[in-house]
């Protein structure tokens, strides 16, 4: 039986609201389904987040399907591969779209291998090309873009790093529960220890103040923390600061760090390398402080301050503290 739908698959979303990345793949899926003239389906593995039926309605999802199994809550890699592959073998979607989380990086290529379909990772956008799909993807660590053309039924993993427009209205969709026999799945990957982050996550922050190598010295990172505190936000960093041990990796914004989407992103002493921008280009407003007026970050910034970060930061902290008081 052919489903002939574009299917968005998500897993490990948690019980509460949807992370913004999930909404972006729903947005991409809706666009592709509309271009192909087919319905949009949403496959959820494991727990159904509370907001899912309402979000499904808003994104024009025609069918919301859930596979429940203890091995999928949280989703373990081998179980997820089997559940998704079995679903696709039965329903043959025109394209399967995943949000490229760390877990999806493991799962997507294996699903494609089982289905003998193409897989494209690091996807940014997708268009139709006759029967085929053209996917623009980030390559070489974000330094360049490539375009892949693949036949029907591919597995596409998208990096969610763009602002999602308001999805519109729609009545909540009633989920349909599917079964998949996962009893014979033996997980081959054992997680011995998970990285633990204390406190709120950059991914959810409304305001982020990030520092880069332009701060000059690890002691100066305290100014970033002070400004973030004064503005009620969180402190982020470019990768060199993590590599140098100024801050721990939970602060890193970028391709190999956190993908953020705050209302305000203030980048201080950051050059604007593509790998950093991959983690902050979905910010609603980006403000840059850099002493080099030619710095690439200014091409992305809505507002820019050209000058020495060590002179500008104390002034911003003073104003933010006064405004807060």
Residues that bind ligand FAD (CB under 6 A): 141, 212-214, 216, 238-240, 252-257, 269-271, 273, 275-276, 279, 289-292, 295, 308-310
Nearer to ligand FAD, 114 or 291 (CB): 291
CA distance to 2, 82, 130, 134, 305, per residue, from 95 (Å): 12, 17, 14, 12, 44
Measured from the CB of residue 278, what is the shortest distance to ligand FAD in angstroms? 7
Nearer to ligand FAD, 7 or 226 (CB): 226
Measured from the CB of residue 138, what is the shortest distance to ligand FAD in angstroms? 10
How far apart are alpha carbons 94 and 36 in whole angstroms? Answer: 9
Measured from the CB of residue 73, what is the shortest distance to ligand FAD in angstroms? 30
Nearer to ligand FAD, 10 or 101 (CB): 101
Nearer to ligand FAD, 179 or 303 (CB): 303
Measured from the CB of residue 162, what is the shortest distance to ligand FAD in angstroms? 17
Measured from the CB of residue 231, what is the shortest distance to ligand FAD in angstroms? 18
Measured from the CB of residue 96, what is the shortest distance to ligand FAD in angstroms? 26
SS (H, E, C) 124-185: EEEEEECCEEEEEEEEHHHCEEEEEEECCCCEEEECCCCCCCCCCCCCCCCCEEECCCCCCC
Measured from the CB of residue 212, what is the shortest distance to ligand FAD in angstroms? 3
**What three-state secondary structure class fits 287?**
strand
How far apart are alpha carbons 21 and 215 in whole angstroms? Answer: 31
Nearer to ligand FAD, 118 or 270 (CB): 270
Provide the β-strand partners of residue 66: 44, 177
Nearest 5°: the CA angle 132, 156, 286 is: 115
Nearer to ligand FAD, 110 or 276 (CB): 276
Exposure of 192 by Cβ count < 10 A (0-12 exposed, 13-18 middle, 19+ buried)? exposed
Nearer to ligand FAD, 17 or 240 (CB): 240
Cα torsion angle, 168, 99, 120, 176, sign:
negative
């Amino acid at each position: 039986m052919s489903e002939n739908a574009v299917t968005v698959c998500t897993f490990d979303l948690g019980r509460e609201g949807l992370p913004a990345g999930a909404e972006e793949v729903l947005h991409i899926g809706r666009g592709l389904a509309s271009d192909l003239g087919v319905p949009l389906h949403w496959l959820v593995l494991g727990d159904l987040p509370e907001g899912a039926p309402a979000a499904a309605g808003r994104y024009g999802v025609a069918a919301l399907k859930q596979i429940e199994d203890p091995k999928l809550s949280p989703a373990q890699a081998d179980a997820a591969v089997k559940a998704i592959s079995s679903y696709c073998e039965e329903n043959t979607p025109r394209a399967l779209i995943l949000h490229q989380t760390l877990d999806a990086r493991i799962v997507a290529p294996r699903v494609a291998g089982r289905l003998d379909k193409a897989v494209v990772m690091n996807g940014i956008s997708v268009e139709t090309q006759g029967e085929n799909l053209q996917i623009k993807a980030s390559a070489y660590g974000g330094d360049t873009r490539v375009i892949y053309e693949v036949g029907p039924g591919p597995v596409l993993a998208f990096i969610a790093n763009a602002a999602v427009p308001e999805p519109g209205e729609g009545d909540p969709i009633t989920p349909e529960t599917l079964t998949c026999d996962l009893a014979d799945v033996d997980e081959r990957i054992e997680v011995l220890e998970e990285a633990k982050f204390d406190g709120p996550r950059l991914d959810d922050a409304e305001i982020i103040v990030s520092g880069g190598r332009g701060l000059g010295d690890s002691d100066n990172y305290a100014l970033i923390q002070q400004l973030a505190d004064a503005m009620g936000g969180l402190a982020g960093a470019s990768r060199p600061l993590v590599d140098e041990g100024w801050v721990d990796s939970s602060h890193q914004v970028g391709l190999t760090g956190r993908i953020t989407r705050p209302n305000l992103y203030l980048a201080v002493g950051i050059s604007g390398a593509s790998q950093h921008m991959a983690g902050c280009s979905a910010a609603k407003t980006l403000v840059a402080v850099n002493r080099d007026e030619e710095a690439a970050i200014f091409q992305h910034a809505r507002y820019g301050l050209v000058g020495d970060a060590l002179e500008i930061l104390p002034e911003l902290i003073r104003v933010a503290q006064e405004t807060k008081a």
